Amino acid sequence: MAKTRPGVPSKIKPGRKELDSYTIKGTNKVVRAGDCVLMRPSDAGKPPYVARVEKIEADARNNVKVHCRWYYRPEESLGGRRQFHGAKELFLSDHFDVQSAHTIEGKCIVHTFKNYTRLENVGAEDYYCRFEYKAATGAFTPDRVAVYCKCEMPYNPDDLMVQCEGCKDWYHPACVGMTIEEAKKLDHFVCAECSSDDDVKKSLNGFAASPADDVKVETKRRKR
C-alpha cells in the first residue's frame, strides 16, 4: 500500500454505502470512524503508516474502503527529523486518502502530547501528536512551542532532564556538564544562573544540594 498525493476529503460515491465499523482481517479488533490505525507500508522494511479513519464505505461487491487522514513521521516531513522529535512522535497532516481496509494491520492510540508525557509506560501502540502539518508547504501548527534548557530546545519525552530548584527550568544533563548516570544520582539540582560559588559547587555526583531545600530532584523521562 502506498500513500497517494495529498488531497482533500472525498465524498461517498454512488452505489456505495457508509459503514459504522470494520473488523480487521484475522482479528477481533473493530475499527470505527475516529480510530487511529496502523496500515501496511509499500516497503516491507519500513514501519507501518499511521492514519486516522474518517469514514468507512463498501461497494456493491462488499469491497471495503477507508477514508483516512495520514499522520506523518518526522522523517517524512520536509524538514526531516530533529533532535527534539521523540521516537513515537507523529504530525497530523492535511493529507487525506482512500485505501483498502485490507491494508489495516492493527489499531493504535495517538495521544495528545500532554497525555503522552503522563503515561507510566509507553506501549508499542502508543504515539503522540503536538503539531499539525501541511504536506504541500511543510508548515506546522502551532509554529512555536515552549523551549527548555540552555540549548533552548522543545521537550523530547525520550530524553532525561533535571529541574532546577530555583528557576524551575529543565536541563539536559549534557548541557550542564553531567552524564546521565550522574544526573540519576542527584538529590538536588540548582543551575548556574540560580546559584553562587558558595552554595552550589560541582561534585563527583553532579551538583551539591541546596542547604535550604531537601526535595529530591525531578527527572523527565518516559518508561518504554
Q: Which domains does the chain carry?
A: 17-141 (2.30.30.490), 144-223 (3.30.40.10)
**Which of 46-55, 62-71, 182-191, 200-209 comes out lowest in average pLDDT?**
200-209
For the entire predicted model, the pTM comes to 0.79
Q: CA quadruple 133, 134, 136, 139: dihedral positive or negative?
A: negative
User: Are residues 80 and 74 in contact, defined by beta-carbon separation less than 8 angstroms?
Assistant: yes
Q: Band the pLDDT of 43: cuts 50, 70, 90.
A: confident
Average pLDDT over residues 27-55: 95
Please report the pLDDT score of residue 8 as a whole number.
57
Digit-coded pLDDT (tens) for 91-125 = 999 999 999 999 999 999 999 999 999 999 999 99
Does the pLDDT value for residue 54 go beyond 50? yes
Q: Band the pLDDT of 7: cuts 50, 70, 90.
A: low
